[in-house]
Amino acid sequence: MHITDPVFKDRLEIKGHSHSAKKWALAIGIVLVIIAGVSSAMVYFFPNTIQYVNKILSGTPTAQSPSTLPPEATQPVVTAHEGANASAAPPVNTHETAPAATDNASPSDHLTEPAAPKAQPEPSAVPAKPITTSAVVTEPIAAAPARPVATPSVRAEPVAVPVKPVAPSVPAQPVTAPTEPSTDPKETVERLLAKGKKQIARTRLTSPEGDNAYETYQALLKMAPLKAQQVLDGIVDWYFKQGSKYIRKGRLAQAGRGNAYKMYQQLTKIAPEHQSTQTLLSEITDALNQRGERQLRRNRLTSSKGKNAYATYQEMLTVGADSQSTQRFLETLVKRLLAQAEQQMEKRKYTTPKNDNAAETYQKILKISEDNAEAQNGINKIANRYRKLALDNKKLGRYATSLRMIERGLQVAPDDPRLNQLKQEVIE
């Protein structure tokens, strides 16, 4: 359909025919929507880029060179501004070209011209969004604080996270070995003195190693000899009292038991010149002599259970073999034993009964006096007596009794040649 009337031509709209201005408006609107979407995405994902662009536009120098920014951070923003400027111009030109097409129209046509845009709802709704987009682009500073992000000034302060120092004070306070609590000599002396007294109270006199009063005394002796003497006196006093207790119980020097002589031996190791050491030895010796004298008077020379003069003399040998009191006691004891053996010989107690016969008495004398001739003669007398008894029984034909007498004689004198020969004769 072809309309030639200019009035109807401008007022009528042919379906399916669109004006070129409408096409441009629609295209520009779509571009603006895309630009607004890209700008919003960049504001959300790259807030630093918007600040950087604002600084460039405002002429403010930045600490970070453009080469360090991501390429997607710079180019979309510039395009957004350019698109905004481009989008603003075409609509103006579009509205200006509309009256140009109707320059030959009548004035009445111009009065009714505003009715034409009503048939074009699309361009009027689309340009609304570029206005909000340009507001976001022109005011990036207000949108940036919405997310706490690092600003470009981070490069000026490279330490972002403070590093905790790992034990910096350890070298300042090195671990040292335990030392003396005080370096003051007076305090050290008093401490050692108190330590030594405590060890004595706990009976740690010479043991265990590393914790005993005698070692404390030796350490104290180098600093304060007078104070050290107090510790030594305490040790000696304990051993002396213990030795005196053993003396009262009669435990003088018996082997295999705790006794007074062992206490004396300890004192000779730690304080041989101490007065208490010598005093304890004298008390032990006196106690042995007194007991030996009582046993001699009671004629308890070789009785059983060790309570006799012979056992006391063995203890005397342990305490002081070369002492004058020991030698005097030995002489007295040998005489008394020889006399006892003679009495046993007279009673024909040659080898029986046990603990009361001449053979045992002579042998004990020889143990304490090896070169005693009288004891040797006494042994020979016993051997001769048994040899004579054996011969008499042999002559009578009592060979069994004769052999028994020979065996008893050999118990006293196993090397006697005459007894050994007689034994062979009786056996044959």
Return the pLDDT at 317. Answer: 92
Residues 260 and 351 occupy one common structural domain: no
pLDDT band at 401 (very low <50, low <70, confident <90, very high): very high
- Say what the pTM is: 0.52
Residues 194 and 306 occupy one common structural domain: yes
> How would you class 209 by CB atoms within 10 Å of its CB: exposed for 0-12, middle for 13-18, buried for 19 or more?
exposed
Amino acid code (one letter) for 369: S
Residues 84 and 195 occupy one common structural domain: no
Q: Quick one: CA dihedral 387, 393, 394, 396, positive or negative? A: positive
Residues 233 and 313 occupy one common structural domain: yes
Residues 292 and 418 occupy one common structural domain: no
Return the pLDDT at 159. Answer: 44
Count: domains in the chain: 3
Q: What is the CATH number of the domain that holds 360?
A: 1.25.40
Residues 317 and 188 occupy one common structural domain: yes
Q: What is the mean pLDDT of residues 152-158?
A: 43
Domain boundaries, position 419: 347-428
Would you say residue 131 has pLDDT above 50? no
Return the pLDDT at 19. Answer: 56
Would you say residue 408 has pLDDT above 60? yes
Render pLDDT for 275-298 as a digit per residue (tens, 0 to 9). 999 999 999 999 999 999 999 998
Residues 128 and 22 occupy one common structural domain: yes
Residues 224 and 296 occupy one common structural domain: yes
Contact 113, 99 (CB under 8 A): yes
Render pLDDT for 60-73 as a digit per residue (tens, 0 to 9). 544 444 444 444 44
Mean pLDDT estimate for the chain: 74
Residue of higher predicted confidence among 349 and 44: 349
Residues 191 and 255 occupy one common structural domain: yes
Residue with tokens 């010796």: 285
Would you say residue 176 has pLDDT above 80? no
Residues 143 and 186 occupy one common structural domain: no
Residues 31 and 146 occupy one common structural domain: yes
Q: What is the mean pLDDT of residues 328-341?
A: 94
Instruction: Answer yes or no: is 166 within a domain.
Output: no
> How would you class 39 by CB atoms within 10 Å of its CB: exposed for 0-12, middle for 13-18, buried for 19 or more?
buried
Instruction: Answer yes or no: is 33 within a domain.
Output: yes
Cα separation, 382 vs 409, in Å, equals 7
